Copies of this chain bind each other. A is one copy, B any other.
Amino acid sequence: MAGLTAARELERTGVGVTVLEARQRPGGRILNHVFDDGVTVEVGGQWVGPTQNHVLGLIDELGLETFPSYDHGDYIVSIEGHVKRFSGDTFGLPPHVLLEAAVAQKRLERMAASVPLDQPWTAAKAPAWDGQTFESWLRGNLRLERTRQFFRLVTTAIFSAEASQLSLLHFLFYCRSGGMLDRLLGTAGGAQERRVVGGTQQVADALATDLRTMVRYDEPVRSISQGSAGCEVRTDAKTYDADGVVVAIPQHLIGAVHFDPPLPPRRRQLIQSVPMGAVIKCIARYDRPFWREEDLAGFAASLDHPVSLVFDNSPPDAACGLLLGFIEGGHARRASLLTTEARRELVVGCFIDLIGPRATDVVDYVDLDWAAEPWTGGCYGGHLGPGVWTQLGPELRRPFERVSWAGTETATEWNGYIDGAVASGLRAAHEQLSEPPGVQPSDP
């Protein structure tokens, strides 16, 4: 999405563009699955929501439509082995846990508000916050283990990484980047509010089709050379000349591209320090969304199951029922060892526990372990562990001579989301347009 958006923006200004795509399809972390009868569901990024104006604008421009995620009826929560219904924002938590969680959320959001999105390392308390994990903060600042568990679930839900892997500073940056916790976690009014008719991959497909030039698929870039005359970009098939290059891939994959001259040392170290999260997105198909008949929204959150989050992901016409389950963080790392068959059994077992016995009647199943995808290496996005923002943060967007860096990990707003990817593509395109190539030194 970042690369295609950059290409689109550059074409608009009359710049000739070639898009080199490693995969045989556009969209990166966005991917539709089409069932035998044509019903479509996303096995990659899917939701859009308010304030994500870059992607919402793009969807509109491309003539695509969105529809609200299904969100009627009660929710389900599983804590300490007990599965129960709840409604509203209580998560079925007892009042004293809710109170501690609310106070903690207020504190965290006050802290987050002090983190400059374009330079998180300049926050007044950056050294202390970047010196600890979010897990340490939870242990040091929350009294109730159940409140900690709740925040751990929130963390894997947002990052698909454990609280132990995240710098507290990164957690705070990300909160602010997405408009704070309620917006990140919410359906109506939040990041999960809307879906794209026909599946979100439509956006990438339409973007690719809309370009004047053809996207060159199955052409992973092997090397980028640059000098005063321009750049030379080599794939297995061909060598391309260019005035500049926008690199729009996950940070860790930058290490697989040979650069001549070599990447600056700090950049080379940054790309070693932005690992991807771990998530397996699992979808079970039913004849109809039976939970709606029981006044259930199809949403469940569990502290007890490897599938920690469940959503109703049925098509807009409810022609069938689709339950979406996320296996995230440490759970995903374990479930990654299972065969698809064993994973199906595991996931359906969770659906039965959480949504009810009628979840047994699965008619189809699909899942995707994003860590197994060579051109991604994990989802939802890359995260920064302790000590990285404060030591190497300035390298994230710093152009390397004629090379600009895009991808949702480089976004200031909605970092990690489709919207951040789109925004990063626009930013990189304008960088290419405004800065005379070869003028800005990479190491001032």
Contact = CB atoms under 8 A, between A and B. Distances in A.
A369 interface: yes
Interface string A123-135: 0000000111101
A122 interface: no
A187 interface: no
Given A266-B336, A333-B269, A385-B165, A135 B139 contact: no
Interface stretch (A83-91, A100-108, A249-257, A406-414): A249-257
A273 interface: yes
A399 interface: no
A308 to B, nearest CB: 15
B135 A372 contact: no
Given A130-B164, A164-B387, A275 B266 contact: no
A15 interface: no
Given A387-B161, A387-B165, A392-B333, A268 B132 contact: no
B391 A269 contact: no
B256 A371 contact: no
A388 interface: yes
A387 B337 contact: no
Determine the interface band of chain A, counting residues with CB < 8 A from chain B. 35 or more
A17 interface: no
A377 B275 contact: no
Contacts of A387: 133, 135, 161-162, 164-165, 385
A378 B274 CA distance: 16
A357 interface: no
Contacts of A278: 265, 269, 391
Of all A-B residue pairs in the complex, the 3 with the closest CB atoms, nearest first, are A265-B371, A165-B387, A272-B275
14 contacts: A131-B163, A133-B386, A133-B387, A165-B388, A252-B252, A255-B255, A264-B336, A265-B369, A272-B272, A278-B391, A330-B390, A337-B444, A385-B387, A386-B386
Interface of A: 130-133, 135-136, 139-140, 161-165, 252-253, 255-256, 258, 262-266, 268-269, 271-276, 278, 329-330, 333, 336-337, 369, 371-372, 374, 377-378, 385-388, 390-392, 443-444
